[in-house]
A and B are shown apart, each in its own frame.
Chain A
Amino acid sequence: MIDFGFGLSRSSAVRLDEVDLSLYKRLEELEPQVRTCIGCGSCSATCTAGPWSGMSIRKVILNLQRGRDIEKMLSNCMLCGKCTMVCPRGINTRHLILSLCRIYEKK
């Protein structure tokens, strides 16, 4: 290869056809309700930890679907369960977070 003296920066686009969905698939098995999320943001709007820590259960689910790591975000959850109360699809988000912690424990 000829060295032109400059390189191409890696594209930051998520390649949907190459995404590693193994974590999300495991979550789907434990929490089938996760598939019904419509990303309305009720959970993150009501999240007590969100504004200070960047925790957002909506982003957690979306990032998993895009094969991204969410462990750090997860550690900011205080498990207060307010998000579960406001979800219009009735997803037990608090339980979902606990399942995610279990998945990360086994990883």
Chain B
Amino acid sequence: MDKVLIIGGGIAGMEAAGQLLKLGYEPVIAEKEDHLGGHVAGWHKLFPDMMDASALIEQLASKLDGATVYLRTRVAYMNRLKDGYSVMLSNGTGLVCRAVLIASGFRLFDAAKKEEYGYGVYDHVITNSDLEAWFNGVEDFRVPENPRHIAFVHCVGSRDLKAGNPQCSKVCCMTAIKQAIEMKEKFPDAEIWCFYMDLRLFGKKYEDFYINAQRDHGIHFVRGRVSEVGEDIDGRVVLKAEDTLAGTQVKLKADLLVLMAGMLCNEDTATIASMVRAAVDSDGFMRSRDNIYRINESNRPGIFFAGACTGTKTVPETVAEARAAALDIHNYLSGND
């Protein structure tokens, strides 16, 4: 029975492992954290169906019976053999496999790097990921009890040359609207403000969320990028932006500021890529054979990709890609190519 190494135990790695098991292979997941599920494991609800993130993780985990899962484990090295790869994991396990699936995902932009937004400096500035953790019951002193004004700033560390990431992270627009609605439901008396450059609501039902946010929840949308944030004497955050549609400068004193931190390539990805000499793309993510028909394939034989290691992805895109990658691996290993 063929072993397949899966690097990363997020939703891509889990789904691919489940499918490979069904196809009769022995998947081995190496996950660097102490839990499976990656970023989604820390999320609360997923758009557009508002499904519980934990329900998705449970569903994926229930299909992993028979898979080998190593937690807190990284790839120490990988060498190309004549027909496959010799792998040593950081826990001392060695294995030989003909196919490797890289599902190493993404990392969240460190919002503290945008100093002008005051993350880690002011008392009431959090990120999208902090807010999801708070939805999940994690205590957070930065979220006030009765906020009157809540601000969301889009594109933090995305479409930002100076932050080193010119790409659009694509899921944050929708996440901001989802979180804005959730906050409005928790705090019906609060006014909620979204500061955006462009609203990119490309997916199924995303536009419905936008209309709901406007019509049913009265959420305000201001077209302008926040240029700087300060703190007033009462500890409220003061945002400064231009309302580019009205052509005037605007200021907002908010009780809570949520920064929509973007998605960047994982730091480990370049290390893993260099071990097998897989190509890294100009955006820092892994380079697929092409970005239309062969997203799951690398330029090296037996090395496959799934999920956000090749670029920003939504949850359904990631799961679909993982399934496709499992089939690609099956075809490769059974010589059906």
Contact = CB atoms under 8 A, between A and B. Distances in A.
B249 interface: yes
Contact of B224 (A41, A47, A89): A41
B26 to A, nearest CB: 47
Interface residues of A, number: 20
B244 interface: yes
Interface string B239-268: 011111001011000000000000000000
Contacts of A46: 227-228, 240
B161 A90 contact: yes
12 contacts: A38-B197, A40-B224, A40-B244, A41-B225, A41-B227, A42-B226, A42-B242, A44-B244, A86-B227, A88-B159, A88-B160, A88-B161
B199 to A, nearest CB: 13
Given A51-B249, A56-B247, A88-B155, A45 B224 contact: yes
A94 interface: no
B162 interface: yes
Interface in A84-107: 86-90
Given A40-B225, A51-B249, A90-B162, A58 B116 contact: no
Contacts of B243: 41
Contacts of A42: 224-227, 241-242
Given A50-B249, A59-B247, A86-B116, A45 B241 contact: yes
Identify which of A46, A59, A89, A90 gathers the most chain B CB atoms within 10 Å of its CB.
A46
Contacts of A51: 249
Contacts of A32: none
B223 to A, nearest CB: 8
A45 B161 contact: no
Interface string A45-64: 11100110000101100000
Contacts of B241: 41-42, 45
Contacts of B198: 38
Contacts of A89: 161
Contacts of A44: 242, 244, 249
Given A41-B241, A43-B242, A44-B244, 9 more contacts: A39-B244, A40-B225, A41-B242, A45-B242, A58-B242, A86-B116, A86-B228, A88-B163, A89-B161
A88 B197 CA distance: 11
Contact of A45 (B159, B160, B226): B226
Contacts of B161: 88-90
Contact of B240 (A38, A39, A43, A45): A45
Contacts of A43: 227, 242
A88 B250 CA distance: 19
A43 to B, nearest CB: 8
Contact of B225 (A47, A59, A88): A88
A39 B198 CA distance: 10
Nearest to A47: B249
Nearest to B196: A40
Nearest to B116: A86
Contacts of B197: 38, 40
Interface in A9-55: 38-47, 50-51
A51 B249 CA distance: 7
Contacts of A38: 159, 197-198
